[in-house]
Amino acid sequence: MGVSPDVRAQYEAVIGLEVHVQLLTKSKIFCSCSTRFGDPPNQNTCPVCLGLPGALPVLNREAVTMAMKAALALNCAINPRSRFARKNYFYPDLPKGYQISQYDEPLAESGWIGLGTDGTGKRVGITRVHLEEDAGKSLHEGFPDSDSKSYIDLNRSGVPLIEIVSEPDLSTPEEAHTYLTRLRTLMLYLEISDCNMEEGSLRCDANVSVRRRGATGLGTKTEVKNLNSFRFLQKALAYEIDRQIEVIEGGGEITQETRLWDSREQRTYGMRSKEFAHDYRYFPEPDLLPLVISEAWKDEVRRCLPELPQARESRFITQYAIPNQDAYLLCQSRAVADYFEEVARLSGEPKLTANWILNDLAFLLQENAKPFPGVSASNLAALLALLQKREISGPMAKEILAEMIRTEKSAAEIVAAKGLRQINDAEQIAATVREVVAANPKQVEQYRSGKTATLGWFVGQVMKATRGQANPQLVQEVLKRELAG
């Protein structure tokens, strides 16, 4: 498929995302079965979530509280009265023949989320946030007779979900990616979902259309499903946008349909013609009362909200004077942001702390396959203090940190045991420098004839001779003096 950049530039995409988030309640939304992931198939089931005749649903209050947290954090208005509805369709993983969802009276509406830090960047409208139950899972692979049979696991049937529907305010795959990242971080901060895309606790569908740049009407949209990673989301959107442009450029028309992203073939393909709402014959769920949310309950939930990630990011930028990108990365996880604040407080060095957490610590944890944080906040602060006092050099600090992660010893213990101490004595360094200079007349000649890049080589030799303990800045100064002859 080929759409040239020139042609692509004549169009703009209109994208809206529908995101399903599995809530972290202990029990399901309408029964007391466990929501635990990975249990043996069909273990966590009962007459309610199996859809047996006569079983009656009872709403889980915790699921409502979690949904309210999400809605408030997304600046939505929570409806004082909302209602559950039956969405009727047949599928083997849906034993009742309908899904209990919310339709014309959702939990919350009319919110927004910014794509930048607090109060900056594009605002993406949130059309609605509603509660619903998850379906079971069809297992098409992994059994000896999988070529002729599919199996059903109903452990997931009745697990609470919220669906977050955005306005079609996104115009590029990159914006969609940023939106989903912001949304995910928010849910993680609220501790209402683990947002694990591989396990399906965060799922994303996209509505996509294209129109000529500058046009105001909307083109016919397709719904792209199966976007189960951030990478797939971007790739699938880019593919689908180009596909639609190509159809229109070729004189064709876009068909309103549901398309699946095939990650193996790197393309979307038509799955079925898009259902319209009336196909589902929605009607109010007769077994559940309307959901009434009092002002008091709403206030209570609002009071429990933590500092939200984008607000925290803004605060980090002003309070700690760290670069925007560092603040963004640190605030991606509440645990990392908490850890940063603790180390920064103990060390009094926020910039240095941000640097070490985002670079060396992150790298070493990955290299050693250790979970975050690997070293306690006080131990990292102590290491940074040694560095700050110039008792150890940067390369030594890296070596010590690696050892700290491996052995869980403190920086001071490792420094003492290894005899690692930075040499800040100019005389002592000068002695080594003179030895190195005397032993390498050829390189000295090169340096003096104008090849000053040789200086780096000399620094390396001196560092090697001092087992990395010489203060590198001092080494440079002394070397320049000695080499000048």
Residue of 236, 214, 207, 243 lying closest to 12 (CA atoms): 214
Q: How far is the CB of 69 from Zn ion (least distance, A)?
A: 24
Pairing of strands 257-262, 222-225: parallel
Residue of 478, 453, 484 lying closest to 466 (CA atoms): 478
Q: Show the CA angle centred on residue 445, arms to residues 443 and 450, nearest 5°.
A: 100
Task: Print burial letters for 407-433: b (CB count within 10 Å at least 16), e (below 16).
Answer: eebbbeebbeeeebebbbeeeebbebb
The answer to the question of residue 55 lying near Zn ion (CB under 5 A) is: no
The answer to the question of residue 49 lying near Zn ion (CB under 5 A) is: yes
Question: Segment near Zn ion (CB under 5 A), from 33-41, 117-125, 127-135, 236-244?
Answer: 33-41
Q: How far is the CB of 366 from Zn ion (least distance, A)?
A: 40
The answer to the question of residue 135 lying near Zn ion (CB under 5 A) is: no
Q: How far is the CB of 125 from Zn ion (least distance, A)?
A: 36
Strand partners, 164: 19, 129
Rounded Cα distance between 426 and 15, Å, is: 63
Instruction: Give the residue with the Cβ less far from Zn ion, 40 or 214.
Output: 40
The answer to the question of residue 33 lying near Zn ion (CB under 5 A) is: yes
Rounded Cα distance between 395 and 167, Å, is: 50
The answer to the question of residue 164 lying near Zn ion (CB under 5 A) is: no
Q: How far is the CB of 155 from Zn ion (least distance, A)?
A: 9
Q: How far is the CB of 188 from Zn ion (least distance, A)?
A: 27
Q: How far is the CB of 418 from Zn ion (least distance, A)?
A: 58
Instruction: Give the residue with the Cβ less far from Zn ion, 16 or 136.
Output: 136
Rounded Cα distance between 474 and 231, Å, is: 47
Question: Segment near Zn ion (CB under 5 A), from 45-53, 330-338, 351-359, 406-414?
Answer: 45-53
* Tokens standing for residue 306: 């933590």
Q: How far is the CB of 84 from Zn ion (least distance, A)?
A: 17
Question: Segment near Zn ion (CB under 5 A), from 44-52, 56-64, 131-139, 317-325?
Answer: 44-52
The answer to the question of residue 63 lying near Zn ion (CB under 5 A) is: no
Residues 314 to 343 in contact with Zn ion, rule: CB under 5 A: none
Q: Show the CA angle centred on residue 99, arms to residues 50 and 30, nearest 5°.
A: 55
Q: How far is the CB of 378 from Zn ion (least distance, A)?
A: 46
* Tokens standing for residue 425: 């004595």
Rounded Cα distance between 262 and 352, Å, is: 44
Question: Segment near Zn ion (CB under 5 A), from 28-36, 180-188, 191-199, 309-317?
Answer: 28-36
The answer to the question of residue 186 lying near Zn ion (CB under 5 A) is: no
Instruction: Give the residue with the Cβ less far from Zn ion, 7 or 288.
Output: 288
How far is residue 257 from each of residues 201, 206, 260, measured CA to CA in Å? 25, 12, 10
Residue from 7, 46, 311, 426 that binds Zn ion (CB under 5 A)?
A: 46
Instruction: Give the residue with the Cβ less far from Zn ion, 157 or 314.
Output: 157
The answer to the question of residue 154 lying near Zn ion (CB under 5 A) is: no
Rg for the chain, CA atoms, rounded: 30
Binding-residue pattern over the window 205 to 224 for Zn ion, x denoting contact by CB under 5 A: --------------------
Phi/psi at 203 (5° precision): -130, 145
Residues 371 to 390 in contact with Zn ion, rule: CB under 5 A: none
CB 69 within 8 A of CB 302: no
Q: How far is the CB of 135 from Zn ion (least distance, A)?
A: 13
**Residues binding Zn ion (CB under 5 A):** 31, 33, 46, 48-49
